[in-house]
Structure 1
Amino acid sequence: MSETMTYDPVTGAHLKEWGHRPGKQFPELLARANAMRAEGYGLVKIRMELDGEIPAVPPTLDLRAPGAVAFHETIEAQDADEEDNVTKVRETMTELMRTPTIEAGAIMPDACPAGPVGTIPVGGVAAARNAIHPGMHSADICCSVMITDLGHADPKAVLDAAQAVTHFGPGGRPQGKRFTVSLALLDAFRANPFLDSPKALRMAQEHMGTQGDGNHFLFVGRSRKTGRTAIVTHHGSRGPGAVLYKSGMIAAEQFRKQLSPQTPKQNAWIPADSEEGANYWAALQLIRKWTKANHNAIHQATVDAVGAEVGDRFWNEHNFVFRRGDLFYHGKGATPAWDGYAADATGLTLIPLNMAEPVLVVRGKDAAKGLGFSPHGAGRNYSRSEHRRRMGSVTPEQMLMAETQGLDVRFHAGGVDASELPSSYKKADSVVRQIKAHGLAEIEDYIDPYGCIMAGDVPPFWKTRPNKGRRA
């Protein structure tokens, strides 16, 4: 053959077209293929040579029969609304348990539906073998709570200071008002294929020190046991977590089509023992670090602004994936309640109820009926829109005054969000009673409310953005 002849190289697109799945073996396959190409072999011959390297396609997994895998219940209905809610939770949980990877499940006292039938409910726990289900932690990855003991600081001064330093609502902090993000953490993002994107890195910096909207809050109260002031924050991983969730769902969908086409898209999974699974698990841990740093940033800025004495500080996530033995436990709005669930676990966790009720400081009891979890809050019996409908002619301001009398409740955006008022949630005393009745956790302290800050009622972004460029 002429030494001057050249051949187009074999690319990853060729390998995928021939049936190879991207992975750590790709570089070696490409090297071999292009070595043959350089020797003058045609694409057909190279394809035949590499056919033996294509891994066998595993048989697809069918959905299990309804009821084949049971789930535990630690929830009780007290009235017609709760009965309807529990019925819907059971329906969606029964369908969820048909997922081929799921081996156990549980619902907490605060459970409520969170999507189409078959979607894990808020207050739901699902244990999967060799599978991480991004849809079961949802976009608000690592939604969590942190508490800092501020000694005998004046609660009003603390709330004033917190209001001046925190950030609620959509988007992030503008240039010049951003909090510092660890360079080591950003480097770790860059080293992870799920987080190494300009958007994830930008949001990791812009969203540090922000709390978002919805039911996220900043709460100030006093310990019933010591009389000391405490601050509690509630938020998730904001933009970086949402980016990871989207990438995770794309990866899971690719596996779903191959492994279990019958499984609903929201329950798709990434095999934990795959390269993608290892990378996704590592990405979840990085998002956890970012979220903890986000809480710390808000707490420390408040401490610095008010000049408070700092005591204990601890936190816990209640919307995450936890590995225990050889199973992956997906807690969707459920608090881990076993010792050592994470390296920084203290044995104490937090369960907020509503803005007019105490935040519970509890010690988990690793109840088998709860798969080792406790509830994450009070939950809802019906939707936000249904709550607004039931308000009738009562204004949000009137409802706020009636339900939070004596408390300093603030909405960062100004407008009162009625769907976050106490009447929108389950009765706190009922949730507490069920925690005790089912042995899910032992209450060690109550942080009685002084006041809190919520995001507030903000018009959707599409109502306030400029008309320029808007599609008809």
Structure 2
Amino acid sequence: MSILKTKELSKIGYINDKARSLVINTMAKNFKHHTKNQIIELLINIKNTPENYVEDEHLGKIAETFMDKVKEVNFQSYHLLQQSGMLKTYGSKEIEHGAKKQMELAMSLPVVTQGALMPDAHSGYGLPIGGVLATDNAVIPYAVGVDIGCRMALSIIDEGDGFFKRYSHQMKVALRELTHFGMEGSLDIQPEHDILDSPVFKETELLKKLHGKAFRQLGTSGSGNHFVEFGEIELYENNTLGLPAKKYMALLSHSGSRGLGANVAMYYTKIAMDVCRLPKEAKSLAWLDMNTEAGQEYWLSMNLAGDYARACHDVIHASLLKSLGLQALAKVENHHNFAWKDQLANGKEVIIHRKGATPAHQGELGIIPGSMATAAYLVMGKGIENSLHSAAHGAGRAMSRQKAKNNTTASALKKMLATAGVTLIGGSVEENPLAYKDIERVMHAQRDLIEVHGKFFPKIVRMNRD
């Protein structure tokens, strides 16, 4: 690359000496193989949407020069307790030691009143995936997770196996053309949804800045284990949907709030860490007091991200069903990365964080998926207090993505899918069925928490390729 001149930087809005110095040093060191035009485009993007780059290893300091200055706040240091509340673990034999240690650490926070660990649990950042935490008037951004409002949605359709046989080609085309996966990008035709008109987008400066990203990403899905799939669901006798017990065609999706939720999570986690000083091993579990402005802003933003995640699923289901001339008989959906205000049995109001856990109050419906080649379950909660009215959110990972990649070949994955009768569009060996725990064992470990009302088997699965 040719060296950028001060005049060129000023022309694109880099008038601050500190910003210009950071740019020159950073680009020379880490972006020397980029063209000048590529660098200028990148710098313009950083200036216009700095919140998208504040966590970047190389670009974060540049982005910070364009972020609104955070108000000066008084911070408070906290000590960890031995354990502040009751912790109930389900399916302990299925859970790795690291996840248990993370949960025990979370239970030592002075704001925690109760906790539960689901049988699909595995290590995460801060709270383990599969961790459920009740707190007293405090919200922990990283106990909700980065993908705020990550959720499941199931549409049950009055068609059967015959539809797959006649229209499998059209279904594959629809999945390719009407879904989009990955960190960035958008659909070819911009969808519409009332969520984009929500006045909440005008409530904070951060949400105002994120509205454009939310507009572009509406109806899209992330990477990793997010999916959209057609399959067949068998509904059991006396199912709570009131539908005849038989097999139906179904559409199942899994994704969250995209860049909107990720930016909200990172922004308020930083504020939480600034105002709530914890020992090093627990710093990512910093909380926001609900009586503070930051706490209220996060709560408002989290709920908007949850509504946005639901809107993305609405768009996906509506567009796919419409393209195939189908209508849903029933729809079931639930968040599994979120926080809710709730009451314990003793009447105490708490905030229940579920990071990779399904709400399972008495009579509450939810969906617990397995993998791209194993069953998902339609379940109804039993409202068990010790689980904080929660259940697992899936099979849970048995291998890290890197280990799954190292231990499975593309040809082995192809064979697994052929055996299961599944067609995969996109996808990768990192998400192969062996990378996950046995969903049947996970379901058995939580038989006291939920009733099974139906069993779904995937047939045509769409995922991100990487």
Letter in structure 2 aligned against 1:370: S
Describe the shift of the 1:262–1:168 C-alpha distance in structure 2 as closer, same or farther (beyond 3 A): closer
Residue from 400, 421, 429 that aligns with 1:418: 429
Describe the shift of the 1:57–1:288 C-alpha distance in structure 2 as closer, same or farther (beyond 3 A): closer
Residue equivalent to 2:51: none
For the residues of structure 2 that align with 1:249 and 1:59, how far apart are their CA atoms? 15
The secondary structure found in structure 1 opposite 2:313 is helix
Residue equivalent to 2:316: 298
Letter in structure 1 aligned against 2:110: P
Residue equivalent to 1:132: 139
For the residues of structure 2 that align with 1:114 and 1:404, how far apart are their CA atoms? 32
Residue range with higher mean Cα deviation, 206-215 or 223-232: 223-232
Residue from 174, 189, 194 that aligns with 2:201: 189
Residue from 312, 321, 331 that aligns with 2:354: 331
Residue range with higher mean Cα deviation, 229-238 or 319-328: 319-328
Mapped contact 1:349–1:361 kept (Cα < 8 A): yes
Letter in structure 1 aligned against 2:270: I
The secondary structure found in structure 2 opposite 1:212 is coil
The secondary structure found in structure 1 opposite 2:441 is helix
The secondary structure found in structure 1 opposite 2:291 is coil
Mapped contact 2:84–2:113 kept (Cα < 8 A): no
Aligned residue pairs, count: 373
Residue from 138, 146, 149 that aligns with 2:153: 146
Alignment of 1:4-403 (within 5 A): 60-65=77-82, 67-77=83-93, 82=94, 85-115=95-125, 119-152=126-159, 154-155=163-164, 156=168, 157-173=170-186, 177-182=189-194, 185-197=197-209, 200-225=210-235, 226-257=246-277, 260=278, 264-325=282-343, 326-339=349-362, 347-391=364-408, 395-403=409-417
Mapped contact 2:147–2:262 kept (Cα < 8 A): yes
The secondary structure found in structure 2 opposite 1:203 is helix
For the residues of structure 2 that align with 1:104 and 1:71, how far apart are their CA atoms? 6
Mapped contact 1:256–1:263 kept (Cα < 8 A): no
Residue equivalent to 2:35: none
Describe the shift of the 1:304–1:256 C-alpha distance in structure 2 as closer, same or farther (beyond 3 A): same
How far did 1:227 drift? 1.7
Describe the shift of the 1:303–1:94 C-alpha distance in structure 2 as closer, same or farther (beyond 3 A): same
The secondary structure found in structure 1 opposite 2:80 is coil
The secondary structure found in structure 2 opposite 1:93 is helix
Describe the shift of the 1:357–1:406 C-alpha distance in structure 2 as closer, same or farther (beyond 3 A): closer
Mapped contact 1:181–1:204 kept (Cα < 8 A): no
TM-score normalised by structure 1 residue count: 0.74
The secondary structure found in structure 2 opposite 1:195 is helix
Q: What percentage of aligned pairs have identical amino acids?
A: 27
Letter in structure 1 aligned against 2:140: H
Residue equivalent to 1:407: 421
Task: Give unmatched runs, 5+ long, in structure 1.
Answer: 1-55, 340-345, 458-472
For the pair 1:440 / 2:458, whether they are aligned, the reply is no
For the residues of structure 2 that align with 1:91 and 1:59, how far apart are their CA atoms? 25
CA offsets 1:151-202 (integer angstroms, 9 cap, x no match): 216232444423320111221316x6221243763432112354122xx111
Mapped contact 1:222–1:230 kept (Cα < 8 A): yes
Residue equivalent to 1:342: none
Residue equivalent to 2:59: none
The secondary structure found in structure 1 opposite 2:327 is coil
For the residues of structure 1 that align with 2:281 and 2:255, how far apart are their CA atoms? 30
TM-score normalised by structure 2 residue count: 0.75
For the pair 1:427 / 2:441, whether they are aligned, the reply is no
Task: Give unmatched runs, 5+ long, in structure 2.
Answer: 1-72, 236-245, 344-348
Residue equivalent to 2:17: none
For the residues of structure 1 that align with 2:381 and 2:262, how far apart are their CA atoms? 29
Describe the shift of the 1:289–1:89 C-alpha distance in structure 2 as closer, same or farther (beyond 3 A): same
The secondary structure found in structure 1 opposite 2:328 is coil
How far did 1:385 drift? 1.5
For the residues of structure 2 that align with 1:281 and 1:384, how far apart are their CA atoms? 31
For the residues of structure 1 that align with 2:247 and 2:76, how far apart are their CA atoms? 61
The secondary structure found in structure 2 opposite 1:139 is coil
For the residues of structure 2 that align with 1:292 and 1:286, how far apart are their CA atoms? 10
Mapped contact 1:136–1:330 kept (Cα < 8 A): yes
The secondary structure found in structure 2 opposite 1:71 is strand
RMSD over aligned CA atoms reads 2.2
How far did 1:404 drift? 4.4
CA offsets 1:230-283 (integer angstroms, 9 cap, x no match): 1011001001111111221122123214xx566732111110121221222111
Describe the shift of the 1:168–1:208 C-alpha distance in structure 2 as closer, same or farther (beyond 3 A): same
Mapped contact 2:75–2:274 kept (Cα < 8 A): no
